[in-house]
Amino acid sequence: MRIFALFLLLTATGTALAAGIDPFNTAGITPPMPSPQMAGRQGDVPCAREIPGTPLSAIEAVDLTLCNNPQTREVWAAARVQAAQVGVAQAAWLPNLDGRLGASRYQNDSRYYNASSAALTLSWLVFDSGARSANGEYARQLLAAAAATQDSRVQSLFLSALQAFYTAQATRAAVVSTTEAERAAREGFNAAESRYNVGVATPADRLLAQTALSQATLTRIKAEGEARNALGALANAMGFKAGQLLTLEPPPAELPAGDFQREVAALITEAEVRRPDLKAAEAQVKAAQANVDLVQAQGRPTISLSTGPTWAETDRVSVNGGVIGVTVDLPIFSGFDTTYRVRAAAAQVDVKNAQLDTLRNQVALDVWKAYQSLTTATQTLKTTVDLVASAEQSERVALGRYKAGVGTVLDLLTAQSALASARLQRIQAALDWFVYRATLAQAVGALDYTLLQPAAEGRP
């Protein structure tokens, strides 16, 4: 019973110690949880948890996304898993202390005997042909891959938040534009009806104006539905349920000047250095190479030491002793298991290298497409400014001519339709410009809060 109590004490002490300590400081090597500060937010800004009562800005939308989207918790948990695996690899370098208890009752010559035994063994793997070193490198590279994957996910969430925010802004602007188009169509209808009542317009003119008004009303209703859907998508991106009451800041009156006019080759080179998914793929290659070393070492000799006291008691006779031993494990033949495991690990290195090369090509394509899309969006945006100005002037002239009796209703309706289309194209062009600017930054691996500061502060 004394032996049993001693072992219970040792077990409880070891469990208590192991539960609350981190001897390998895995918490220190775990990347921080995704947050605004991790994404480059300046200042001591607490993680946002609630939607503000004031109109929501793009920066606040990104803050809420990084703080509340479930994907941030998922990717951080994956990083913590890999950090713990580094601790597992480090633990293999330390000795193990194991206890063993036994109790039995047996009969001999019509007598019953009670026997109990105990042993405490300290074992230490002193030589393993490099397996622990390779396993440690494998775990560290997987942690590096997990950290880079987390950075990549942060940028993806950053881009998703901006896309959802800019889309919601654009749909709200489209509601304003379609409402204005409906107002203009109603004014045209009123003019046609007035002319019809005094006998200077035909019933066809009145019906055409009525049809145009109904079409404008229908367009406005559809725009309001799209705006509600966009707000729901934004709430979802920020980690809230759709249906949250959201009000957005209006788009800036003037867009900041584009600073992306650089050589595409330079942007691609920068992306190859900065893209976190490329860093993750490179770490995966190094991990696969370390795994080859690990598998090779697992088929080589190992040497272990063991020592410890033993206790035994039979029919109230106690015997105390001790043991010390050396174990050499020398693999001779394993049915070619090690051979094929090494081949599989080497082939996995080729797989990871091929995936890395594919990703490099994709990065170059991402930068190229984002650059060209932003260039096109910039040119389109400049053109739509002139388009809206000329369409507004044309609509005013057509309405004035129709009211004066020297223009036709078809001229008026055509001008009003052209103006409504021009305004919607202007809104779409602004949306494309904001989204493609963020997409280019993400393609280069440089998407952070510095992209929003100029727009937020009104500086080019």
Residue pLDDT, tens place only, 234-277: 999 999 998 888 999 988 776 655 555 667 888 899 999 999 99
In a domain, 394, yes or no: yes
Q: Kindly state whether residue 128 falls inside one of the protein's structural domains.
A: no
Residue pointed to by tokens 């584009």 = 258
The reply to whether 364 falls in a domain is yes
pLDDT for residue 202: 84
Q: Nearest CA to 288 among 74, 144, 152?
A: 144
Q: Please, what's the b/e burial string for 237-263 (b: 16 or more CB within 10 A of its CB; e: otherwise)? A: bbbbeeeeebebbebeeebbeeeeeee
* Residue 77 burial by Cβ neighbours in a 10 Å radius (0-12, 13-18, 19+): exposed
Decide if 202 is inside a domain: yes
Confidence at residue 383, expressed as pLDDT on a 0 to 100 scale: 93
326 is a domain residue: no
Q: What is the DSSP letter of 44?
A: -
Tell how many helices (H) and how many strands (E) occur in the chain.
11, 4
- 143 within a domain of the structure (yes/no): yes
CATH number, domain of 360, equals 1.20.1600.10
Q: Strands across the sheet with 111-127, in order?
A: 96-108, 111-127, 302-314, 317-329
Q: What is the number of domains present in the chain?
A: 1
| pTM for this prediction | 0.85
Summarised one tens digit per residue, pLDDT across range 167-176 is 999 999 999 9
Confirm whether 217 is domain-assigned.
Answer: yes
Q: How many CB atoms lie within 10 A of CB 85?
A: 19
> In this predicted structure, what is the pLDDT of residue 459?
36
- Return all residues near 352 (Cβ < 8 A) that are at least 6 apart: 281, 284, 285, 287, 288
Asked if residue 10 belongs to a domain, the reply is: no
Residues of the domain holding 277: 61-94+135-299+339-446
Residue ranges of the chain whose pLDDT lies below 70? 1-20, 254-262, 453-460
CB distance 151 to 276 below 8 Å: yes
pLDDT at 443: 94
Distance between CA atoms of 80 and 142, rounded to whole angstroms? Answer: 11
